């Protein structure tokens, strides 16, 4: 590349000259490492503003080993959780002078690759949303005592990194309690993928909460499967071919719930009058469905808050934070 075409940006030396102080003082004032707000400080700030000065991050990073960047790795931008997190995270990070470096990796190999790339850039902190089934403990451990790492959601694999996750148990409790409050007596659960540990765990929580609330369920109603519209549709059609049916269907994902609602419509059942439906993840289709769908929303704001707190804390003090999600009550589960 040719040298910057127009005027090169002003350097700290020019600011120092204009403010009649040393470059060290300018650095100290502008980075807030100097306490007082006296005449000198004002002169420096004034000069910096006049010259439209902004630090050269490359030089700053080279000297101080602080890059003012945070790395984020996600499985895909179209993943609704990652997108929600991103929208909440970016403004919070960028409020200061930090910037977000993004890496996208659909599987374990790609995610590992991206984490290597981000760490070789010496990001000040790394946030990772692991893709389904990926085990990043090896690469996490590799950098764990150099930079703070926070895994958001998923299953914890490395015990040398921080973890911010969603308290699914509280979510399930909120769902069941809400349904009981709406007069529901019996409830079915359409779980996620059979092989997944998380699905099994959620399924167990469902049973616990149903029992605790004094509701009924039936093992024939509850099935594992893919998180697709088709699967929700098929399961529902099958459900209504059997002897009895529940007052409510709880689904492990909004897409399943969506298929459920389409099937109920086809069967001539009204939601929520005849049967109530609850989804999970609060994806865009939850608000776009007809009727609008009750769903569980990850507490993005608190997730970001905790994640950044753990990054400030620096490497070496791994801790685990579990946050209760928010139940977004909409038309599909409300008695009228």
Q: Among its own copies, DNA, none, what binds residue 13 when CB lies within 5 to 8 Å by partner kind?
A: DNA
Q: Which is nearer to DNA, 21 or 188 (CB)?
A: 21
C-beta of 118: minimal distance to DNA in Å? 17
Work out whether 28 is an interface residue with DNA (CB under 7 A).
yes
Work out whether 97 is an interface residue with DNA (CB under 7 A).
no
Residue from 45, 51, 60, 200 in contact with DNA (CB under 7 A): 60
Provide the 8-state DSSP code for 52. T
Q: Which is nearer to DNA, 36 or 317 (CB)?
A: 36
**Which range of residues in 9-17, 185-193, 208-216, 246-254 is near DNA by CB under 7 A?**
9-17
Rg of the chain over Cα atoms, rounded to whole angstroms, equals 26
- The rounded distance, in Å, linking the Cα atoms of 84 and 70 is 17
Work out whether 6 is an interface residue with DNA (CB under 7 A).
no
Work out whether 47 is an interface residue with DNA (CB under 7 A).
no
Read off the tokens for 12. 């700290």
Residue from 26, 43, 48, 82 in contact with its own copies (CB under 8 A): 82
Work out whether 12 is an interface residue with DNA (CB under 7 A).
yes
Is 40 within 8 Å of 29 (Cβ atoms)? yes
Work out whether 324 is an interface residue with its own copies (CB under 8 A).
no
Residue 163's contacts (CB-CB under 8 Å, 6 or more residues apart) are 150, 151, 152, 156, 318, 319, 320, 321
Provide the 8-state DSSP code for 287. H
Work out whether 130 is an interface residue with its own copies (CB under 8 A).
no
Q: Among DNA, its own copies, none, what binds residue 244 when CB lies within 5 to 8 Å by partner kind?
A: none
Is 267 within 8 Å of 237 (Cβ atoms)? yes
- The rounded distance, in Å, linking the Cα atoms of 38 and 122 is 35
Work out whether 13 is an interface residue with DNA (CB under 7 A).
yes
Footprint on residues 173-192 left by its own copies (CB under 8 A): none
Task: Calculate the alpha carbon distances from 121 to 31, 66, 77, 117, 264 in Å.
Answer: 22, 10, 22, 6, 52
Residue 159: alpha-carbon gap to chain centroid: 20
Residue whose structure tokens are 């150099």: 146
Q: Among DNA, its own copies, none, what binds residue 229 when CB lies within 5 to 8 Å by partner kind?
A: its own copies
Residue from 54, 138, 270, 319 in contact with its own copies (CB under 8 A): 54
Residue from 50, 146, 201, 220 in contact with its own copies (CB under 8 A): 146
Residue 258's contacts (CB-CB under 8 Å, 6 or more residues apart) are 229, 232, 279, 285, 289, 293
Q: Which is nearer to its own copies, 24 or 59 (CB)?
A: 59
Q: Among DNA, its own copies, none, what binds residue 255 when CB lies within 5 to 8 Å by partner kind?
A: its own copies
Query: Per the omega criterion (within 30 degrees of 0), is the bond before 20 cis?
Result: no
Tell me the backbone φ, ψ of residue 332, rounded to 5 degrees.
-65, -10
Q: Among DNA, its own copies, none, what binds residue 219 when CB lies within 5 to 8 Å by partner kind?
A: none
Strands 162-166 and 326-328, sheet pairing: unpaired
Tell me the backbone φ, ψ of residue 102, rounded to 5 degrees.
-105, 135
Work out whether 196 is an interface residue with DNA (CB under 7 A).
no
- The rounded distance, in Å, linking the Cα atoms of 127 and 149 is 6
Task: Catalog residues that contact DNA under the rule CB under 7 A.
Answer: 8, 11-13, 20-28, 30-31, 33-36, 38, 40, 53, 55-56, 59-60, 62-64, 66
Please give the residue ranges that form the binding site for its own copies (CB under 8 A): 1-6, 9, 54, 56-59, 61-62, 65-67, 69, 76-78, 80, 82-84, 86-87, 90-91, 94, 97, 99-104, 110, 114, 117-118, 120-122, 124, 145-146, 228-229, 233, 255, 258-259, 262, 265, 283-285, 288-290, 314-316
């Amino acid at each position: 590349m040719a040298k910057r075409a127009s005027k090169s940006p002003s350097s700290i030396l020019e600011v120092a000259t204009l403010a009649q102080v040393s470059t060290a003082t300018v650095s100290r004032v502008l980075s807030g490492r100097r306490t007082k707000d006296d005449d000198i400080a004002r002169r420096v700030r004034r000069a910096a503003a006049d010259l439209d000065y902004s630090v050269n991050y490359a030089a700053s990073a080279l000297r101080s080993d602080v890059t003012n960047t945070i790395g984020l790795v996600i499985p895909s931008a179209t993943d609704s959780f990652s997108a929600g997190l991103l929208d909440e995270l970016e403004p919070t990070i960028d409020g200061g002078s930090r910037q977000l470096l993004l890496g996208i990796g659909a599987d374990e190999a790609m995610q590992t690759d991206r984490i290597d790339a981000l760490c070789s850039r010496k990001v000040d902190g790394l946030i990772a949303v692991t893709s389904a089934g990926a085990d990043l403990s090896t690469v996490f451990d590799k950098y764990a005592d150099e930079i703070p790492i926070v895994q958001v959601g998923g299953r914890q694999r490395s015990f040398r990194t921080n973890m911010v996750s969603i308290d699914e148990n509280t979510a399930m409790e909120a769902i069941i309690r809400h349904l009981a409050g709406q007069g529901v007596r019996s409830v079915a659960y359409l779980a996620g993928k059979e092989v997944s540990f998380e699905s099994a765990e959620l399924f167990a929580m469902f049973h616990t909460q149903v029992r605790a609330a004094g509701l009924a369920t039936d093992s024939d109603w509850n099935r594992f499967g893919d998180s697709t519209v088709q699967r929700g549709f098929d399961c529902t059609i099958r459900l209504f071919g059997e002897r009895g049916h529940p007052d409510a269907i709880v689904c492990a994902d909004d897409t399943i719930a969506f298929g459920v609602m389409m099937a109920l419509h086809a069967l001539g059942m009204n939601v929520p009058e005849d049967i109530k439906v609850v989804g999970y993840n609060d994806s865009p289709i939850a608000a776009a469905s007809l009727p609008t769908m009750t769903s569980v929303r990850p507490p993005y704001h608190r997730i970001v808050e905790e994640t950044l707190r753990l990054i400030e804390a620096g490497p070496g003090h791994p801790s685990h934070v579990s946050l209760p999600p928010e139940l977004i009550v909409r038309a599909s589960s409300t008695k009228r």
